[in-house]
């Protein structure tokens, strides 16, 4: 087997640097994917917190609507009593029913709105989690591609060097005599002189 000259060593060094660059790119792609997943999870947790707040605000609004309805019903009852009407008067019963019904309706709307806002936050949280998982999978896929690229670079260089300097390459006699072509002739001249 012929000895490898400067060109061979440079080719091997270049291949090694390319392989290390691809490995570093693989690591960076994987890290970026992991960071995206963490950021997505953080955003999802924040959105879920906001969903809880939306429900709480809806419940608070519902309680306020109930309270306002109770105040209005109480006022209507007080006005009826002051005017001499009784609680069993059909007009008073109808007014109290409408007031209480409107209060329940408004309270239900407030609860619905709070639940709807919470649902939107939960959907956004799910979307953040899915985006983070997709980014992590994409990072892992890119890392795999870069690792394959690094492996391919090494195989390509290895096969090229083997073809040039291994079996089937210039033999020792042509290198020693300087009759080989290209790098082998230069190596023969350099290593063995002009003898």
Tell me whether residue 145 is in a domain: yes
Q: Is 182 inside a domain boundary?
A: no
Tell me which residue of 61, 170, 66, 168 sits closest to 113, measured CA to CA: 61
Phi, psi of 69 (to 5 degrees): -65, -40
* Residue that has been written with the tokens 């060593």 in this structure: 9
Q: Which of 16, 139, 109, 32 is nearest to 8 (CA)?
A: 16
Convert the pLDDT of each residue in 37-83 to its tens digit.
898 899 999 999 999 999 999 999 999 999 999 999 888 888 888 88
Q: How many domains does the chain have?
A: 1
* 134 domain-assigned: yes
Q: Is there a domain that residue 73 lies in?
A: yes
pLDDT score for 167: 57
Q: DSSP states of 19-50 as a string?
A: HHHHHHHHHHHHHHHHHHHHHHHHHHHHHHHH
Tokens 């870069």 correspond to 146
**Angle at 52 (CA atoms; ends 46, 53), nearest 5 degrees:** 90
The whole domain housing 98 covers: 6-169
In a domain? residue 176: no
Residue 171, φ and ψ in degrees, nearest 5: -85, 165
183, part of any domain: no
Q: How many percent of the chain have pLDDT more than 90?
A: 31
Report pTM.
Answer: 0.59
Give domain status of residue 187, yes or no.
Answer: no
pLDDT over 70, % of the chain: 81
Is 186 a residue whose pLDDT tops 80? no
Q: Is residue 191 part of a domain?
A: no
């Amino acid at each position: 087997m012929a000895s490898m000259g400067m060109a061979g060593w440079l080719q091997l060094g270049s291949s090694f640097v390319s392989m290390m660059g691809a490995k570093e790119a693989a690591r960076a792609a994987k890290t970026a994917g992991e960071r995206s997943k963490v950021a997505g999870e953080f955003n999802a947790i924040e959105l879920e917190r906001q969903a809880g707040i939306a429900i709480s605000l809806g419940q608070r609004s519902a309680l306020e609507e109930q309270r306002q309805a109770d105040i209005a019903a109480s006022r209507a009852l007080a006005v009826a009593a002051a005017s001499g009407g009784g609680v069993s008067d059909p007009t008073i019963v109808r007014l109290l029913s409408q007031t209480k019904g409107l209060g329940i309706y408004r309270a239900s709307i407030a609860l619905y709105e709070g639940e709807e806002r919470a649902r939107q936050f939960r959907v956004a949280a799910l979307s953040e989690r899915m985006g983070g998982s997709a980014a992590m999978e994409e990072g892992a896929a890119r890392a795999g591609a870069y690792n394959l690229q690094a492996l391919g670079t090494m195989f390509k260089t290895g096969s090229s060097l083997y073809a040039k300097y291994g079996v089937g390459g210039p033999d020792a006699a042509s290198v020693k005599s300087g009759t080989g072509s290209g790098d082998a002739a230069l190596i023969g001249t350099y290593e063995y002189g002009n003898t």
